Structure 1
Amino acid sequence: MLLESVLGIGTDLELGVTLQYIVEAAVELVGAVYGELGVVQPENAALTELFSAGADEGGTTAEVPVRVADEVFGTLRVRGKRGDGPPAAPGGGEAGEARFAPQDLVLLHTLAAQAGIAIGNARTYGRARQRERWIQGAAAVTTALLTGESAEDALTTVAESARVLADADAGAVLLPTADGGMRIVAASAGDPVIADGMIGTTILPGSAVLEQLLGGEPVFLDDSATDPRMTTAVRERFGPSMMLPLQHGGRLIGTLTVPRTRGGRPYTPADRLLATQFASQAALALVLADAQHNRERLAVFEDRDRIARDLHDLVVQRLFATEMMLESTRRRAGAGETAALIGRATDELDSTIQEVRTAIFALQQPPAEAPTSLRGRVLRETDGAAALLGFRPSVQFLGPVESSVPEPLDARLLSALRGALAAAHRREGVSAVAVEVDATGRLPDGRTVVRLVVRDDGAREDGSGTGHTTTWQAPDH
């Protein structure tokens, strides 16, 4: 039976299967009623896992340590010797109770020694498999990030992948805040409610955990709920946790955290090492994805700029030349129906030119996310106009512009601004343009006046000098 047990121990390289087989083999080998194998942490001998076989009915106990090399892996314990005597009373030790013989201990020691070898092999295999999964996960994250995901989706991908690979209950990515803290911006959990509740959680500046992370050092917590370094509201939900800096080239991009629920299995040194390596790879992937995104945006911008130049140099110039020929023909035609038709055609052509110029200005806008504030959108329009004017218009805001210009009024103001800038570009000798958005004026009845004024130093149409001012005022505000 001992030989069969020893030979059977090494038939499976999965650690959990091997440990369960060892317990069952020990019970059968010494004729015990119940057996268990407790796995302990090397650092503090705390019990982490327990494998058992049979029903614990009390009785005499026999136990031996299980060692892997020089490390105590756990304790193999059997209880309740099966025999011909009366049943053992709870607690054991009664007269007539079957007891374990010295040779039973010899068998257990022999089995434990062989088990240590098999456990060592199974752990080596398990670590290799675990490392392979982390490597494959890091490669999958890199591939996903380089396929053009948005920044938010990319961070969520990192959090989700880390949670699955670490066998954690949640995963989250924190980014630095303007005041020197960190805030969770992406989270993943088996329960979506937990993930949503984590987003927005902030680590305030000065936290001990934050100081360690900002120094580029990972933080490993045995129990997030009780660790004095943790100050966030969500810490009560979690126990073992890893907080890993996402850094590249000495620059801290953010933090990756993968917590387990309270009472969960603690992270091993191998877990910590592999997760730290994954965080480094994920940080590099985020940097590469951001660089690729910037290159793509630049390529789009260059295409838009080229199209705008072609429209200006070819289409607008030809339309303008055609308008001049029509205007010359109208003058020669004198008064009459033909001249009137030519005049209307000239006006339509002039409007078309202005619309094309407005489209050119829009193409000159950077292909980035549109600003949400009115100030940002006005500045974006003037920045786009700078590409064709050859200089940047000056911009001034007066009064509470943001609160005084509601939708859809802001859209009409921006449309008027685009038209005024296009008209300024069409004039000769324009070397300066000033834009003013004024929300300080009042009507006689007390209502706020929103006024847009665009001034330039170009030549006047009637040849009477230079300088032109375009004023737009909200008609119903």
Structure 2
Amino acid sequence: MTDARVPGLPPLLDAVLSVGTDLELPTTLQHIVDAAAELTGARYAAVSTTDPGLDGIAEIRTAAPPGQPGTTGTLEVPIQVGDEVFGRLYLAEKRGGGPFTAEDEQLLHALAAQAGIAIGNARLYETARLRERWIEGAAAVTTALLTGGTAADALMTVADRARVVADAAAGVILQPTAEGGMEIVTASTLDDPGGIVGATIEAGSPVLVQLLGGEPVFIDDSATDPRMTTHVRHRFGPSMMLPLQSGGRLIGTLALPRRRGDRPYTPEERLLAIQFASQAALALVLADARQGRERLAVYEDRDRIARDLHDLVVQRLFATGMMLQAARRRSEVTYVDETLGRAVDELESTIQEVRTAIFALQQPPADAPTTFRGRVLRETAGVAAALGFRPSARFTGAVESRIPDQVAGHLLTALRRALAAAARRPAVSRIEVAVDATATLPDGRDGVRLTVHDDGTTGDDGGDGDGGTTVTWQSPL
């Protein structure tokens, strides 16, 4: 029986093991050329490939080349990854000056076969990482868009995240113009974005026809492609232009240009970018719908406040007018003075109600109030559902600046309790809340006084003599 053992098998095993020790593709290629040079005694080894993910033709050396491969004293074998020829493994200039042997070629073929497996694994790993980055980017965009912000912030979020994930020089959003073209409205760049925003694609451009039809456009070199007509095209090289559309609605276009000379986008990157654009477009639509609902809520709340304000002002002015008419028919000086005093009080109270209503109109209902006045109004609004009407509130003095946070907290607690007690009383049709930051306490100190008055049946609670109940709370400032 002949000896089938291949000489140099232990070094081959070492080489085979070494090429599969890393999942990064550039590092794997370096391991391959290192192993090939070590295994055959070559002074020069290189891998050339046309893989677009490796910046065109990648040549990795272990020593200075003796000239162009293919001269005397060279050896080359193809590297097969599945059914595809990934590239070629070159050797040159064997140490000692001799030619490469048949054994060297046999070892190199064995190494190339293992290299194909290692490269395939590295590709799968890079694809998985690429998918993960795009998925994380899409999730981050969705989260950011659905947690608030303006329309301009939403577009910048999409442009910025896409630029980072795609490793692009810029992330650009274009939107349709009234003239039928498209204009850059948002740009996220690493460098100076000057001159980018405002650039337009004129109506009728072949690129625009594709985009308006919902088709992505892929460009190898923006600076030289005749389809590109913007004045900033000379800054960029490979690019993707992706329609942002959802449910047949075209929101705009996401463009991701790379610098001139950068590697082109791979088919995998193009596919993932299209999916990202679809997800971002859906998030933009949902964010716009959420903002529309919030605006509607604001308008509805303002309509309610306007109705309340109208009823309150009309009632008080009518009552004041009746008092003044009655005063004209009475000649008693004391009665006239009392009536005029009450009329003045009613007018002052009406002015306070109008000021409070105007303040409420300025507060979007979806926003948590941060001012003291806003927190008081939130408490009165909170009890309105149980009462069927909203208590009135008026403020005297600089309540925002005079009332410290600790006192404000105690006052709000007292207000909450008073409103809850008033809501439980029978026949309550009106509650008046007054906060006076100019009050003087019995001991002469400056203070704040909270008064909550309702017109409900007093029962055993004790009243104030006018068929209602008044709760008073006060504190020094």
TM-score tier, shorter chain, comes to: 0.5 to 0.7
CA contact (8 A) 1:305 1:363 kept: no
Q: Distance in 1 between matches of 2:359 and 2:179?
A: 35
**Stretches of structure 2 lacking an aligned partner (at least 5 in a row):** 1-10, 366-477
Using the alignment, how far apart are the partners of 1:162 and 1:171 within structure 2? 6
Is the counterpart of residue 70 in structure 1 residue 83 in structure 2?
Answer: yes
Q: Which runs of 5+ in 1 are unaligned?
A: 84-96, 369-477
Q: Summarize deviations over 1:131-168 as a string: whole Å, max 9, x none.
A: 12211111111001001021111111111111111111
Question: What CA deviation, in whole Å up to 9, does each residue of 1:385-414 have, x standing for no partner?
Answer: xxxxxxxxxxxxxxxxxxxxxxxxxxxxxx
Deviation at 1:356?
5.8
Tell me how far apart the structure 1 counterparts of residues 109 and 186 of structure 2 sit (CA, whole Å): 51
Pair 335,50 (structure 1): closer, same or farther in 2 beyond 3 Å: farther
* Counterpart contact for 2:305–2:361, Cα < 8 Å: no
Counterpart code for 1:283 = A
Q: AA paired with 1:217?
A: E
Identify the residue that residue 190 of structure 1 maps to in structure 2. 190
Deviations 1:234-267 (A, max 9, x none): 1111111100000001111100011111110111
* 2:206 aligned partner: 208
Which of 52, 62, 66 aligns to 2:61? It is: 52
State the partner residue of 1:9.
19
279-288 or 356-365: which moved more?
Answer: 356-365
Structure 1 counterpart of 2:227, which letter? Answer: R
- Superposition RMSD in Å: 3.0
Deviates more, 1:318-327 or 1:103-112: 318-327
Cα distance 1:250–1:345, how it changes in 2: closer, same or farther (>3 A)? Answer: same
1:203–1:348: structure 2 CA closer, same or farther, 3 Å change rule? Answer: farther
The total of aligned residue pairs comes to 351
Please state if 1:144 is matched with 2:133. no
TM-score (norm 2): 0.67
The correspondence of residues 296-315 of structure 1 with structure 2, limited to 5 A, is 296-313=294-311, 315=312
Report what 2:157 is aligned to.
157
Moved more, 102-111 or 264-273: 102-111
Q: Distance in 2 between matches of 1:185 and 1:335?
A: 74
Separation in 2, partners of 1:81, 1:103: 13
- How much has 1:347 moved relative to structure 2? 7.2
Aligned AA (1:70): D
Q: Does 1:324 align with 2:321?
A: yes
Counterpart in 2 of 1:451?
A: none
The counterpart of 2:262, out of the listed 264, 286, 293, is: 264
Give the whole-Å Cα distance in 1 for the aligned partners of 2:339 and 2:91.
109
One-letter amino acid of the structure 2 residue matched with residue 26 of structure 1: A
Q: Which amino acid aligns with 1:7?
A: L
Change (3 A) 1:327 1:117: same
Distance between the aligned counterparts of 2:125 and 2:37, measured in 1? 26
Paired with 1:32 and 1:239, the residues of 2 have a C-alpha distance of: 38
Once the two structures are TM-superposed, the CA of residue 186 in structure 1 deviates from its matched residue by 1.2
Alignment partner, residue 242 of structure 2: 244
- Normalising by structure 1, what TM-score? 0.67
**1:116 alignment counterpart:** 116
State the alpha-carbon separation in 2 of the partners of residues 106 and 257 from structure 1. 49
Q: What's the % identity of the aligned pairs?
A: 58
- 2-side partners of 1:366 and 1:174: how far apart? 33
Q: Which residue of 1 aligns with 2:384?
A: none
